[in-house]
Structure 1
């Protein structure tokens, strides 16, 4: 009696559990992939790679090329404001003649009650490019301004071992004169000068100072290496020095604000013409923009084309014509490619 009762209980439990058991199997069979129906490759050789077609390379080049931004046809900004108070970014940048800009700077000085003999600065931006890979090296220039704006003189040191040359240098105002005995004090920083000049026989003996003096090392290119001692000293005692900074800009004092306009313009003209000597005219104009300001005023953009050396404007026109021809030829080549 007990055996049939036990069998009945087992049958009831198995029948009840089968529902949950088979429902779980059916639930997981949809997730777990069946390995029975998977095809296994029987190949014992490598698959040949497909050759790249021209269409694939063209697609890659098109994807790699940056997308050109859509040009928005915006109306040009008005040239001159109609009111005394206006937003500068709503109008075209004002570019003045040099004389007009100087009159405005002097008016700013009167309105601001600042010093009338403050310095006038010329901020010049240069185009240092020559060829595709060649550029003009940063340089330090010196020149004699037509009108001096300071009474001070520079401290000039002359290298020579000749007693007669040393005496001649002292007569013409050299601050220091000596030979190789000055090398160690200069390296130690005990002796400093504004300019260093020398006679040619001393160059080979001063090689230890090249890394210290750098661009101030005596050389024939800037006139600091010569036998003409009086001429060197008279030039470097009163010369005006300027340098290229931040890769392509010159910020130089040219006058004081209380000087007449014609004298300030003459100094500006001399500075720009001397700067243009460092780049051949065949590469186009060297100067790209000019700003004049005083020590306490804002900068004013000035028209600089009149100060460029003769031939620079003509070369600029030639360069622009060559660029237009190149662009036209490129457009023709693109049309031919599209037609093909």
Structure 2
């Protein structure tokens, strides 16, 4: 049966199914079947947009860049020089000067501490126990040309310990009960002998619970079985956690000051250390003694070349942004004098050997 219009469709439904059934049957038909629908042409540009969406996006293959060329563009980018070179500028003899055209003013350590105490007075910042940080700038050139030193990661014993806001767990390994008692009294969290080594191997004692491991020389042969587990924590005389004076080693790693250096990615010969030497409420002489101990430890790993290893030291005390340049000659000159004396002793010894050889 052909139905030509909407009216004809309705009459056919009522005549065939009745009023109640006709409504149910009508719901099965779509709008296009019940009503007349006109399909007009799409708006201008619509078909073109649809056609473009169907076009596949080509994925560009990323070309492999060798590891030695990946930072090439980064190194070409303009950067500011980290090392301050102001020896060509004039010295200021006034209380007020234009910093752009004059050298940095040099302060003694005592003067720098006094200046920072003024800014942290209760009437200003009101932080009398703020940490006093020292920024040490290094020349990281090695003895050989175009070679540079690795970053430093050391811990130094200081004469005046202070709260650094961290708890360090120390594991001490030694054979005799007397040495274990000495280690515990010095501040070790756990001390033991061969039984403790077996517990570490079995997993009952985890090395991850301890930041540092110190050991006595008498247990070194048995300690070699833990080399794979300890990795960088393995005690050596070079790192200072292997020796005969167990109390000194424990005290150093528990209360000493840890510092690390960081090299600039653009200036490989420029290194920087920022370390706290104490709190402002400590005596200035105590802060200076800690500072001197750190400088001497840094100079102990200096390369054997004529250029100075420590180029500049700055005193900073957050939250203040004031930076004061320190006079390092009294501390660096002391180390240079010791080196010259050692060289002199070696020369005298060599001369004596030559004399003996000549006389014979």
- SS of the residue aligned with 2:132? strand
2:327 aligned residue: 303
Asked if residue 100 in structure 1 is aligned to residue 111 in structure 2, the reply is yes
How many angstroms apart in 1 are the aligned matches of 2:330 and 2:300? 16
- Structure 1: state its 5+ residue gaps: 1-75, 317-340
1:194 aligned residue: 211
2:169 to 135, 155, 170: 155
Residue by residue, what CA displacement relative to the aligned partner does 1:173-207 show, whole Å, maximum 9, x if unpaired? 42123214325759977x42232112412441122
1:173/1:233 contact within 8 Å kept: yes
2:277 to 237, 245, 254: 254
What's the CA shift for 1:164? 6.5
- SS of the residue aligned with 1:179? helix
Asked if residue 207 in structure 1 is aligned to residue 218 in structure 2, the reply is no
- Write out aligned runs for 1:111-260 (5 A): 112-129=124-141, 130-150=143-163, 154-160=168-174, 166=180, 169-177=183-191, 178-182=196-200, 191-199=208-216, 200-211=220-231, 214=232, 216-246=233-263, 248-260=271-283
The Cα RMSD (Å) is 3.4
1:281/1:312 contact within 8 Å kept: no
Residue by residue, what CA displacement relative to the aligned partner does 1:129-164 show, whole Å, maximum 9, x if unpaired? 122144333222222212223398742112457667
- Comparing 269-278 with 111-120, greater Cα deviation is found at 111-120
How many angstroms apart in 2 are the aligned matches of 1:164 and 1:301? 48
How many angstroms apart in 2 are the aligned matches of 1:194 and 1:145? 19
What's the CA shift for 1:299? 1.6
**How many residues are paired up?**
236
1:126/1:286 contact within 8 Å kept: yes
- Write out aligned runs for 1:27-42 (5 A): none
Question: What TM-score, normalized by structure 2, do the two folds share?
Answer: 0.56
How many angstroms apart in 1 are the aligned matches of 2:110 and 2:247? 37
2:134/2:274 contact within 8 Å kept: yes
Question: What TM-score, normalized by structure 1, do the two folds share?
Answer: 0.59
